[in-house]
Amino acid sequence: MTQSRQSQVSLADTPYYHCISRCVRRAYLCGEDKYADKSFEHRRQWVIERMHYLASVFNIDICAYAIMSNHYHLVLHVDELLNEGLSNEQVCERWCELYSKPVLVERWLSEQTISVAENKAALTIIHGWRERLVDISWFMRCLNEFIARKANKEDECSGRFWEGRFKSQALLDEDALLTCMAYVDLNPVRAKMNNSVETSEYTSAYERIHGVAFKEENNKESSLVGLSFKKKPLLGFIGDEHEAQSLVSSQKGIPFSLLDYIELVDWIGRILRDDKRGAIVSHHPKLLNTLGLDSESWLSLASSFGKDYQGAVGSLDELAAFAAHTGKRWIASKGVKLVDSHKL
C-alpha cells in the first residue's frame, strides 16, 4: 500500500534522507543502450547540473549521489536552521528562480499593496514557499519533472518517464548515514561500470576527490549561469575539526573525516568486488573503530543496504521514535522483522 510522504519524513528525528528514482520499466536514463544502439551518457550531466542548481535554490544539501543507467541515488540533508533565517524577500528570490512570481507578491515586494488583507495574503503565499524550500518532495519534483520533459523532448515522445514516486529512507543515526553514503558511492563499482572509486564519474565520491562530477564538466556550459546566488558545494565533512555529534545537532556537516570516509569507501569496494586483481587491503579504516563496528559488520551493511532496509534506518530506539512521529505502528528493521513502536 502506498504511504503518504508525511509518514516517511520526520525532520524532528533526522534531517538526512536517502532518495531513489527509477525510470519507468527501468529504461535507460543514461549510459549505452545496446538494444537501441543509442548513447544517453549526456543525460548524466543534465541530472548533475539540475541537482546542484536545485541545491542552490532549496535549503537542502547534497551529501552523496550516484547517477546510474536507469536510476539515481541522492542522500539529502534538510537545513531547517538556514531556512528559518531567510528573510521573506530572500524566500521570494529563491522560489522565483523556479516559478513565476504572482502579481500579489510582486506588489508586496514593491510596497504597492493597499490593504492589510493583501499583505496577509502575500505573506501566506511566501510562508508556503518557505516550507517548500525544505520539502524533499518539492526538491525531487523539480528535479524529476525537468529531466522527464527534457528526455521526452529528445526522444520525441510523451508520457511517464519515471517509475511512479521516488522512494525515500530516513537515516536516523550516524551509522545509517555513513553506511548509506558508502552504498551510494559504490553503486558504479558494484555494477562493474568502474573498477575504482576514484574513476567512478557522476558520483559524489568522484566529485569530492577531483572537484568536478565528470571529466568534461569544465568544458560544458553550466545550468547555474545566471543564478543570483553561488553554487552550493556538497555538504562538507567536519570530523577533522569537531567531535562527532548527533544528527540533530546545530553543527552543520557530516561528523566524520573526509579522508577516513574515502578510505572506507575504497576499502569496502575492494572487498565487495570479486574480480579485482591484487590483494585486499588488510588494515581497517580508523572510522570503523570510531563507530565501534568490525569489518564483517560493515561489509554486510554496505552489501545489502538497498534491499534490507525500507522506510528508515537506525537503532531500535530511533526507529521507535520515528514511527511515533510519523504515525506508524510498525517500522521494518534489519535483524528484527518488525519493530512495534508501542512496545519499545
Instruction: Give pLDDT, residue 60.
Output: 97
Q: How much is the average pLDDT of 137-149?
A: 94
Same domain? For 123 and 163 the reply is no
Same domain? For 10 and 127 the reply is no
Instruction: Give pLDDT, residue 39.
Output: 80
Q: How much is the average pLDDT of 132-137?
A: 96
Number of domain units in the chain: 2
Same domain? For 158 and 48 the reply is yes
> What range does the domain containing 103 cover?
97-132
Same domain? For 125 and 254 the reply is no
CA angle at 150 for the pair 184 and 161, rounded to the nearest 5°? 65
Same domain? For 55 and 120 the reply is no
pLDDT at position 57 over 80: yes
Residue among 62, 48, 20 nearest 306 (CA):
20
End-to-end alpha-carbon separation of the chain, Å? 25
Same domain? For 230 and 112 the reply is no
Is 114 domain-assigned?
A: yes
Strand, helix or coil at 21?
strand
Check: CB of residue 214 under 8 Å from CB of residue 202: yes
- The DSSP code for 63 is E
Same domain? For 147 and 37 the reply is yes
* pTM exceeds cut of 0.85: no
Same domain? For 160 and 290 the reply is yes
Query: The domain spanning residue 325 has which CATH number?
Result: 3.30.70.1290
Q: Of 29-38, 125-134, 287-296, which range is least confident? A: 287-296
Instruction: Give pLDDT, residue 343.
Output: 45
Instruction: Give pLDDT, residue 336.
Output: 44
Is 90 domain-assigned?
A: no
How many other CB atoms are there within 10 angstroms of residue 115's CB atom? 8
Instruction: Give pLDDT, residue 1.
Output: 47
Residue 303 C-beta-side C-alpha neighbours within 13 Å: 11
Sign for the CA dihedral angle at 243, 244, 247, 252 comes to positive
Instruction: Give pLDDT, residue 304.
Output: 53
CA dihedral 301, 307, 308, 310 (to 10 degrees): 120
Identify the burial level of 190 via C-beta atoms within 10 angstroms of its C-beta, where 0-12 means exposed, 13-18 middle and 19 or more buried: middle
Same domain? For 153 and 278 the reply is yes
Strand order in the sheet with 71-78: 60-67, 71-78, 16-22, 167-171, 312-313
Same domain? For 326 and 266 the reply is yes
Q: How much is the average pLDDT of 16-30?
A: 84
Is 91 domain-assigned?
A: no
d(CA 315, CA 172): 8
If one compares 255 and 309, the residue with the highest pLDDT of the two is: 255
Check: CB of residue 188 under 8 Å from CB of residue 31: no
Same domain? For 11 and 118 the reply is no
If one compares 112 and 10, the residue with the highest pLDDT of the two is: 112
Is 88 domain-assigned?
A: no
d(CA 24, CA 316): 34
Same domain? For 59 and 176 the reply is yes
Is 92 domain-assigned?
A: no
